[in-house]
Structure 1
Amino acid sequence: MADEAQMSQSYLSSSTSSLVPMSSKQISQVYKQASQLFLTRRLQESLSLLEPIITPSPSQETEQENGDGDSPTPPQLAPITTASSNLKIKIWNLYITILSAVVDLGPEEGRAQFGQKEWKAIATKVREGEVWETVVSMGYRGREGSVDADIVYNLATLLLNHSASQKLNQERLETYLSSYGQPDLDVAAHLQHLSSGKRKQRMTSAAGTDTPKDLAVRVKLLEIFTLHVLPRNDEWEYAREFINLSEALDDDRKEAFIQTLDNLQEEKERGAQRAAEIQQEKEEELERQRKQREDEERLIAEEEREKQEREQKQKRQQESSSSSGGKSTSNHKRSSSEVDYGIEKSNPNSAMKTRVVKPALKKSTSSEPSSAKQTKKSTTGKSQPLLLARMRVLANLLVTFMKNLARSLASNPLSYLKSLLVVLGVLMALGRSDVRNRIRQVTGAGWQKVRGTIGMGVKVSYI
């Protein structure tokens, strides 16, 4: 396959250098080879095969540059201009498809296959719409309305997929749709088509279509123009007006196009609204995170401040305890010295010992009531909070009992009535004197048995 491509390239170069025009058969062979190379993803070789037949020969360019200024120079013609209409459409569509695939490779793979400079030049040519101008000037001698509708559709799709702005695409389609169906005044081309027997009739009607295929292609152009290109440029009203005024669309298609356009606009508005909601949610989340960080920082600062306050308080307590501890040790030393002094002054005889011991006993006995008073005060001081706590607990229990009683009364008043009757029955029974005497006897007998059992236990434990 590579040898055939090289042979074809050498053949093309030799034919163009000798000013011998290529025949449709030779151009068809080049197209087949380029198609096979494209199917095997050999994009560079396929593109290099097509370029000689869609660009003017170097000899024509040289003649144009070296010609006299007085004599008119003929326009530059590419070999594809001599091809048949169907073959021309196939070659240009293949060329557009190859360029789209080259751009789809991306920067990394594109540089690997074509080199950075060449791939960047091809991508720029596609994205800026230079391919459209190349097709019109090289393939159709600069006549915009003579370009086949299939090629225009592929050019519009190429710009729609790879161009960031659709302004150029809109302008090109407007120019083509306005010039489509106008009569071709190129007499030489008409004579050539008449001699070859392949003249293509064009009606001069407003619709510009004479076959079902032409009508279908024109409908496709209107679809891509009104439902893809104009919405990308936010030309919604212009698209509706263009659909309603189009003579190539019947009423059913107009209604379908309008409905599709409305759905696209609603979807875009919903997408914009959803994007705004997502942006607002992101901003709210960022604000929440910011407040959370501020709260955490404030809590950390408060904890640090409380920690410092506790440390300072503990330090002050330690200082106060150390000062009070020094005073108590001095008092203790003083009291111990006095006791030691009394012992040293005492004599070994019993009389002096008794005289020394008696004051100590008196002192101890006199100190006992004071300590008892202190303990009594401390116990009474401690018992008061304990008594208050117990009273609070009893009050809570009483409140809880009353709440439970009210709840049970509300939920089941019959059981409460039964309990009340039982209590009344017990009170009425206790009101009788014989029942009270009987209960007193039973209680006394039981108490006597308990006392006897306790007494026996005490005797056994004593023994």
Structure 2
Amino acid sequence: MSSRSQLLSSTSSSSSPLSASKLCSQIHKNASQLFLTRRLPECLAALEPIITPPQDEQQQQHTNGDDRSSPPVAPIATVSGTLRIKVWNLYITLLSAIVDLGAEDGKRTFGQKEWKALVSKVRDGEIWETIVQTGYGGREGSVDADVVYNLATLLLNHSSSQTLNQQRLETYLSSYGQPDLDIAAHLQTSPSGSRRRRIPASGANTPKDLASRVRIVELFTLHVLPRNEEWDYAREFIRMSELLDEERKDVFLQTLDSLKEEKEQSCLRAAEIQREKDAELERQMQEEEWRRAKEAAAAERLQQDNGHKRTSSEIDYGIEKGHPNGAAKSRGPRSAEKLSGGKAVDPSGRTTFSPPPESSKNSKKVDKSHSRARQSRALITVLHNLLRSIGRTVSGNPMALLRTLLFMLGIIMALSRRDVRDRIRRITATSWQKVRGTVGMGVKVSYI
């Protein structure tokens, strides 16, 4: 690295373009080897001396018989067009590889600050201005076509917005073919200014140069402008371009239409996929709501069933406990031999009367008190369940209570009238006479 710096300083102090070309060629060869072996930091460090204007004060001491000094230029600006294109293309490819490293590998390889600066230089389009100012003296139209194509491709792949790329390509395409009015450049290329450093212009209108410019038009109209939704502008540019013949124009227009149709279909497919996702999400939400409603209904039904089961079991338990005689009937056959009033049947068949023992009287009193308590508890349970059932019915359907109250109020109002009461009394008396007659006939028939 120190030998390369010494070589660069010795070449910078010399005005021979041959020495600069030899230096650039040697550095390009070494940097290419470093790039192929993925030693990106070393490759960048090797290229920087020839693509950066020197800061040495000796570069500002070359005069042309006057006190004014020429501004320092990078060694790459004084070499031949072929070598210049190779160096700039290698530099652009190196920057693209550095951006492709990603955040983790880039920070580990170059450091966080340096890697972010390089990525920002590429994505913001600053690299384009740097190459124009450093290698071509700020003349946009003098940039080599291959370099412009690689710069546009770099921005197309790594820049989120293609606005700057479109502006740079428009400037380059509009400035191509116009006369160079830079007087300083003409003085540098004139015989009297032969001692000054000469910045060569781009290649002439050779077939290779024409093919490169056609590639730039293709990249501009079929890639950059469609990314900016400039379909009509791209179509008009193709029709009005002087670099394209009629056959290429037809091919470019067909390709542009195909790209537009493909993008529209892609947008339609994306919209359809989004609609399907929305419909699926809505269906899942509806299913979830239906499932929750079903679970809530099942839980409510289970709660009601448990309430009915508890009510039925409590009522049955109260009735069973309220009839102790039923339990007494299920006792053994010996209990049936006992008769009420202290009667008992001996083995000979005779009926004897014996006073009941005192313990049996006490037990009967206890049974009666227990029976009354059980009956009272059963009645209270029935009333409690009835009131709870009425409460649930009223809370679930308040209109039922209102209808019941209105019905009872109607009955009370009807019974408050004297003629209605007399009519009900006559109907009741007539019905009771019929019932008595029917019962009497039944008694006579049963007697007969």
TM-score (norm 1): 0.67
1:236 matched to which residue of 2? 231
Residues 61 and 352 from structure 1, CA distance in 2 versus in 1: closer, same or farther, beyond 3 angstroms? farther
Q: Which moved more, 1:109-118 or 1:179-188?
A: 179-188
Report if aligned partners of 1:160, 1:229 keep a CA contact under 8 Å in 2: yes
| Amino acid in the other structure paired with 2:254 | Q
Structure 2 Cα separation of the partners of residues 352 and 332 of structure 1: 28
How far 1:178 sits from its partner (Å)?
A: 0.4
Matched residue of 1:340: which SS? coil
What percentage of aligned pairs have identical amino acids? 52
| Amino acid in the other structure paired with 1:105 | L
Deviations 1:154-193, CA, capped at 9 Å, x for gaps:
1000100100000000000000000012223421343379
Residues 233 and 89 from structure 1, CA distance in 2 versus in 1: closer, same or farther, beyond 3 angstroms? same
Structure 1 Cα separation of the partners of residues 192 and 170 of structure 2: 28
Matched residue of 2:71: which SS? coil
Pick from 124, 127, 132 the counterpart of residue 128 of structure 2.
Answer: 132
The question of 1:321 aligning with 2:316 is answered yes
Matched residue of 1:268: which SS? helix
1:51 matched to which residue of 2? 48
Residues 86 and 195 from structure 1, CA distance in 2 versus in 1: closer, same or farther, beyond 3 angstroms? farther
Matched residue of 2:38: which SS? coil
1:100 matched to which residue of 2? 96
Deviations 1:199-229, CA, capped at 9 Å, x for gaps:
8797xxxxxx732112111110100000000
How far 1:323 sits from its partner (Å)?
A: 1.2
Q: 1:217-366 alignment to 2 at 5 Å?
A: 217-330=212-325, 332-333=327-328, 340-342=338-340, 344-346=342-344, 348=346, 350=348, 352-353=350-351
Deviations 1:352-405, CA, capped at 9 Å, x for gaps:
3499xxxxxxxxxxxxxxxxxxxxxxxxxxxxxxxxxxxxxxxxxxxxxxxxxx
Matched residue of 2:190: which SS? helix
Structure 1 Cα separation of the partners of residues 180 and 162 of structure 2: 29
1:399 matched to which residue of 2? none
Residues 335 and 276 from structure 1, CA distance in 2 versus in 1: closer, same or farther, beyond 3 angstroms? closer
Matched residue of 1:175: which SS? helix
How far 1:85 sits from its partner (Å)?
A: 1.3
2:189 matched to which residue of 1? 190
How far 1:195 sits from its partner (Å)?
A: 6.9
Q: 1:81-230 alignment to 2 at 5 Å?
A: 81-185=77-181, 186-191=185-190, 210-230=205-225
Structure 1 Cα separation of the partners of residues 114 and 261 of structure 2: 42
Structure 1 Cα separation of the partners of residues 91 and 193 of structure 2: 28
Report if aligned partners of 1:61, 1:76 keep a CA contact under 8 Å in 2: no
2:34 matched to which residue of 1? 37
Structure 2 Cα separation of the partners of residues 193 and 288 of structure 1: 84
Structure 2 Cα separation of the partners of residues 154 and 349 of structure 1: 131
| Amino acid in the other structure paired with 1:230 | L
Matched residue of 1:249: which SS? coil
Report if aligned partners of 1:60, 1:76 keep a CA contact under 8 Å in 2: no
Report if aligned partners of 1:27, 1:53 keep a CA contact under 8 Å in 2: yes
Matched residue of 2:338: which SS? helix
| Amino acid in the other structure paired with 2:338 | D
Q: 1:293-442 alignment to 2 at 5 Å?
A: 293-330=288-325, 332-333=327-328, 340-342=338-340, 344-346=342-344, 348=346, 350=348, 352-353=350-351
Deviations 1:440-459, CA, capped at 9 Å, x for gaps:
xxxxxxxxxxxxxxxxxxxx
More helix by share: 1
Structure 2 Cα separation of the partners of residues 200 and 176 of structure 1: 14
Report if aligned partners of 2:8, 2:49 keep a CA contact under 8 Å in 1: yes
Structure 2 Cα separation of the partners of residues 312 and 111 of structure 1: 71
Q: 1:59-98 alignment to 2 at 5 Å?
A: 59-60=56-57, 74-98=70-94
Residues 60 and 245 from structure 1, CA distance in 2 versus in 1: closer, same or farther, beyond 3 angstroms? farther
Structure 2 Cα separation of the partners of residues 251 and 113 of structure 1: 50
- Give the length in aligned residue pairs: 340
Matched residue of 1:23: which SS? helix
Structure 2 Cα separation of the partners of residues 77 and 296 of structure 1: 77
How far 1:340 sits from its partner (Å)?
A: 2.2
Task: Give every structure 1 segment of 4 or more consecutive aligned residues whose post-TM-superposition deviation is greater than 6 Å.
Answer: 192-202, 334-338
Report if aligned partners of 2:74, 2:134 keep a CA contact under 8 Å in 1: yes
Report if aligned partners of 1:9, 1:49 keep a CA contact under 8 Å in 2: no
Matched residue of 1:44: which SS? helix
| Amino acid in the other structure paired with 2:321 | G
Deviations 1:50-103, CA, capped at 9 Å, x for gaps:
111111112249969xxxxxx755323111111111111111111111111111
Residues 194 and 263 from structure 1, CA distance in 2 versus in 1: closer, same or farther, beyond 3 angstroms? farther
Matched residue of 2:267: which SS? helix
Structure 1 Cα separation of the partners of residues 192 and 206 of structure 2: 19
Structure 2 Cα separation of the partners of residues 282 and 164 of structure 1: 27
Deviations 1:397-451, CA, capped at 9 Å, x for gaps:
xxxxxxxxxxxxxxxxxxxxxxxxxxxxxxxxxxxxxxxxxxxxxxxxxxxxxxx
Residues 239 and 343 from structure 1, CA distance in 2 versus in 1: closer, same or farther, beyond 3 angstroms? same
Residues 343 and 194 from structure 1, CA distance in 2 versus in 1: closer, same or farther, beyond 3 angstroms? same
Report if aligned partners of 1:159, 1:169 keep a CA contact under 8 Å in 2: yes
Matched residue of 2:70: which SS? coil
Deviations 1:207-261, CA, capped at 9 Å, x for gaps:
xx73211211111010000000000000000000000001111111000000000
Deviations 1:121-175, CA, capped at 9 Å, x for gaps:
0000000011110111010100111111110001000100100000000000000
2:423 matched to which residue of 1? none
Give ranges in structure 2 of 5+ residues lacking alignment: 62-66, 354-448
